[in-house]
Structure formats: structure tokens, C-alpha cells
Structure 1
Amino acid sequence: MLQHGLSCFEPAPGRNDGKIYYFVPENINLDQPAGLLIFMHGGDGNSPDTAPYNTYLNPENGALRPHIDNCQFIVAAASAPKEIDGKRWNRTAAFHSLDATIADASSRALIDRNRIIIGGHSMGGFGSYHLGQIFADRAAGVWLSAGAWQISDFRSFYGTNVYILHGKYDCAASYRETHKEPRHHDWCGLSFARAAHELMQRYGIEHTYDEHDGGHSLHWEPAQMALCRFLNWAAGQRRDPYAQKTALITPRGSADPEMAHRPRQRYLELLEAGNDSIEYDKIILTGPNIAWSVKDLCQQNYELTKIRMSGSRIIAENTGNNTFRIDAENVRSFALYLSEQMGDLDRKFTLDCKDKGKIQLSAVAVNDDPDYKAKLIVEF
């Protein structure tokens, strides 16, 4: 079992290498269920297994200290799975690592499964944009810090609150730190955050957009102040398995290097897909990739376009009185899981399906799901 303070275990959960660090604030009562903040570290293909400690958790100059010293969460920070580039949190091994981290933390402490925050910075921000969508139904909130994405459908976040944190001067020459040149626009440029914010506003996704006056590093004072704001936000988040509106998009993620096929999201499960494609949002960066001047920096921008890819999408909204509004694309059949909080399980449910009319169905019982007691099987 975990004790207060910092601890390290090897190997990282779900792997035969790596490390995982846990930090338990003194104010956490280990006899009661606690929140869990899963943090994915930054770096690149050369970052060592000690990166979570070196840059973020060490008590001398870790970027997350002292903010987490009295926070409302146990912090779990594993080293990223081994890869040759900076997309270590975007591959299949990272999915299994995150899943195993939740299980490992739950075996070492009493974890409140409704108070899990998933987040990361820089390379870990890439992972947050990617894995955050895949694990949105298991998270109370998702933290996207100085990350990047290529192709996505952020409606995967319906029902889960999102916190976007990014430095206004991520690519500025004056913030280049140890780099020989300013940070590249296509690494972790501000455009990725602004584009995600624009899309989330368009789709009505609950989120907080925090564009601070710092650079890329979390060590800068503006970023440190933003960290305080994020942790205050995180303390108030709770997972909602019965969200009024949710979406299942598969494959989903950030398409860099690939998306993930996951047929279940919250109370929706794809049973059979069609043979067609669906539209995703794609970001195109514009302007100079390296900003040597303020003029260059101001010219860095983005455009949004659409791209069609093989996939399926179901958007469901509980409109009350045992009725759901359904928008399904490239779907032949799916299941909609139910609980008493979502309607009267003894009455028929009406599904108002876009382009397909209304369907009335009776729920059938399920026995192996911790959140749901019944389900509807929908066939088109």
C-alpha cells in the first residue's frame, strides 16, 4: 500500500521495463477513497525512465512541486513506453500502460473511480489529446497541456470536462531555453490549443481554455500560476457515467501516428459498423515553422478542414421522458446502456434517430456492468 510522500516502483504497470512514481500529499486520508491524477511526462525518444522525477516530481525544482504537495489527488506518473520519437504516449503500448496504471494505483490505495484526472504536458500533452479521448468515459476530467494533434473528433469528450493549458509564447525565440533555435510550430505550437478550443466551442464541449503568458516549460512563472488554476479546477470534477450527451467515435484519438479502434464509450457500444467513412477535423498549420522574430511568431496560425476516414460515429442525447436523440453514421447496430438515473427501465424507450425515424424498444437486463443495469439493442 502507498504511504505519504514520494515512492517509485519498477517495472511500470503493464510493462517489463520503466518506472512509476507515486506522490501522496500529506493531507490525503489513506483510509478513504482519494482522487487520482495520472500525469504523462514530456520529453522525447531519449528521455530516461527517471523523467517524471527529474522534471516534475522532485522536491527541489520539480515543475509540479509545490502545487501537488497539498492537492486533492494521489499523483501517478509512469515513464513513457520506449519509442524512437516524441510520440511515446500515442501508441498502443501507452494505452495499455494507462489502463494498467489505473489498476495498479487501485491495488495500492483506495481510489475513487469517479475522481480520476488524466493529463500530460508536451510529449505527454500529445498523449492527453490522444488517450484523453479514448479514456474520456473513465475520467472526471482531461488536462491538455502544451500538446499537439493532427486529426480528431473532439466530440469524444462529450460528458467529460476538459482543461486546455498552453503558453502564448511556446514558439517564441526568447523562450527557447536550451534549444539552439526556437521551438518549432509543428512541435507544440499554440495553434494546436487554439484550434482545439475553436472546435470545442463549435461542438458545445464543456472545457476551460487557459492561454497563459509563458513559454513551453511549466517552470516559468505564468505556467506555475496556470498550474494552480488547473488544480483548483480539477478538485471540482467528477466522472459522470450518465452524462446527458455522449458520443462514440471509433477509431478515435489524435491520428499521430494512428488512431485507436475502441467500440465502447460510456453508455454506447458499436456492435456492427457499415462499410462507409465519416468526417474528422484536421488541422493545417500556416506561417513560418520557426519564429526568429515577433513578426514570424504572429504569422504562425492554422486552418481547419475535414477529412474522410473509415470509421463510425454515434451521438446520443438523453432528452428526458425515456427518449434519446440519436445521430448515427456508418452504423448497422449498437447498444445503448441504461441505469435508473437515465430513465424508467420498466417502460419502453423512444430513440429519435436522425434520417431513420423513431424506434421504440424495451430494455434488457445486464449483470456485469458496474454503472448500468440494462441496455437497448438498436439495429438499422
Structure 2
Amino acid sequence: MNLLILVWAFIRRRPLTWGFNVLTLSTGVAVVLALALVNQAIEDRFQRDLAGIDLVIGAKGSPLQIVLSAVFQMDTPTGNISLEDARRFAGNAMAASAVPVSMGDNVRNARIVGTTLDYPRLYGARLAQGRWWSQPMEAVLGAGAARRLGLKPGDTFVGAHGLVGSADLHKRFPYRVVGVLRPTGSVVDRIVLTDLASVWNIHEHPDPDEAAADPNHREVTALLVKYRSAMGALMMPRLVSATPNLQPAIPAIESARLFNLLGVGADVLQGVGLSILALAGIGFFIALFGAVSQRRRDLALIRALGARPSLLLLIVALEAALLGLAGGVVGVAGGRALAAYAGRISMAAASGPTLMPSSIGLIDLIAVGAALVLSLAASIGPAIIASRTDPARELAGG
């Protein structure tokens, strides 16, 4: 206890110096931890949104765009595919399940997705209020969409044509909210679900003066397929590619590619955080070296009172450890705050995924431990110098 009091007294002599070094260390820890938490949250979110979907069948175009639009609801579709083709592949013996999705409208930037009840089952979605849709023009809202739009069962709304914007172009076709889902932590939270027939009704009758579309030529945006066996992974993409106007997209491959693209910027920021940590380590070394030089007489007096050299080494190491621990704890708090802020920003963006950083756990202990190790490593040189203090020479020189 007396040793801690002595170390604290040493620290209080240089509050500005140590405060600056702790701030630098905590900044580096915060940047690195926040990026790690956000990257982990993005990866976790991607995995939840994939929901075990093995293949997405869409219109010819970019496979990444197909996955972004049909799975993550983050891009415009490449086009539509015929309902006949969708049904043909859905009935393929290699498909364990196949869920059609139709997109094209939004309500205040929340996408309206026409599908079947198999879609929410992919994500284990359950009702918080109301019931599932049972006929066209009934809608079930994801938890985030309901909160942001301020809608509840019994309310009505009109969708706007297109995936962005708010102009009401389908006023003759209002939707009625019949249910709201519990939060799932997946893409379902931020979209509006309805029956496929709702989308067909609106777009087959855009204007009273226009003729209705031929029901035999109906379309969907994409088909989300799960394989029955490994044979599906070998054969179905080839069958899709051989079909005119159809494009296979493998979500696992495209999401990995997307994550790598996102990782480029994250790597740069990670490098900045590590550079700050390196500077913090250098700062600790310089500060401790200067502190030991200024305390030569104090250290010599401690030695003259019978302290072993190892005690002087322990004093410097303990001082570094306390400061490193402080920097680590403050850095973890700052990193958590940054990650939470990123999560709030993603929640506010209707078209982007909601990020939910993991709860406090091992990664935070690692961050604090890294700060502690860095500060102790910086103290090795100054601690050795302190342990070699010659009391006779220092006191005689004073």
C-alpha cells in the first residue's frame, strides 16, 4: 500500500505529462477497438442477413449487385426474372427451398418487399403485434421500419414508386399494416413485407387508362435458394448460367468480396490507430526516462534506506502499469462509445444495415491488456536505469 502511495506521489508531480501520455494511449486503443468492434459487427450482420442462402438467381448483371439488392437490400436490382423461370428452379430437386422476392417501391425509404411467408422464416422472424398478411395490400413491418415510420397495426400507407424518394405515385393502392415483427438483428428489421400479389397488383394497374399486364408474364426480382445437398452447389449455378437472361450469384462469395472492399478503408484506419499506439509507447518511454532522471535523488534516498535495486525497478514498472491501465480503460470506454455512435448512425440510415457491436467481453480485456503490455514494455529501459542508481554518488553530488 505504501508503494502505491509513493508511485501515486510520483505521478502527481507531472500531471500534464502523464495526462497527455494517457490521452495518447487511450486514443490509440479507442480507434483500434472501435474499428475491431465495427468490423466484427459488420461481419456478424452479413452472416445474419445471409440466413443460410446458398444461391441468388437474378437478372443478368453484376452478381455483387444482385446479392446487395436481393439479400442485403442495399442496392438497386439488375432487373426482373420471369415467374415461370423462378418456379422452374424452385421446383428443382436440388433446391431444398426457394423464396421469391419482388422489389420496386418504398415508403419513406423503407423498402417494400413482396414475398412469401417463407422469407421471414429464413430469419426466424416472429410477430410482436398483429398477424401475418393473408391477402394482397396487407403489410407486416420490421421492428426498425415500424419504429422509424411510426406505423402500427391498423394504420395505412401508400408506397412510392422506386427504391428511394417519397413521392406518392400509387395513391389508389394503399397498404394496411396488419403486423409488426420483433427485432431480429437482420435485414428484416428495416423493410416492409407484403404478398407478391401486392406488387403485381400495383404495377399491373399503374393507371386506369392502361391495360393490365398479362398474368402469364408476371415477374419477380430474384429467387433465394438453399441447396438440398452439395450437388446443388455444383450443378444449379451452371443451370442458371445456361438460361437466357438469368444470372447466378453466390452470397458467400460476393459478401466476402464486399467485406474485403470495406476492409481496405478499415485497414488504413487500423494502421492509424496502431501508429498512435506506437507513438504512445515512445511517449511513455521518453516520459519515464525523464521522470527517472529527475528523481535520481529520491531514488538514491530510497536505496540508502535499505531498498533493494529490484524495488526501484518495481516502482517504475508499477507507475507505467497504472498509467497503462488507465489508458486502456479510458480507451475501451472511448472505443465502445465510437462503436455505439457508428451503430446509431447505421440505424438512422434507412438504406443501411443496423450495426450492433458485441457486448463487453474478451476483446475489451485484450485491449486493456495490450495497453498494459505496451506501457510495461516502454518502462523496461527506464526501470533498469532506476534499479542501477548509486545512492552514494547521487547523494554526495547533491
Q: Which has the higher contact order (CA 8 A, sep 6+)?
A: 2
TM over 0.5: no
Q: Which has the higher strand share?
A: 1
TM-score (norm 1): 0.19
Q: Which has the higher helix share?
A: 2
TM-score (norm 2): 0.18
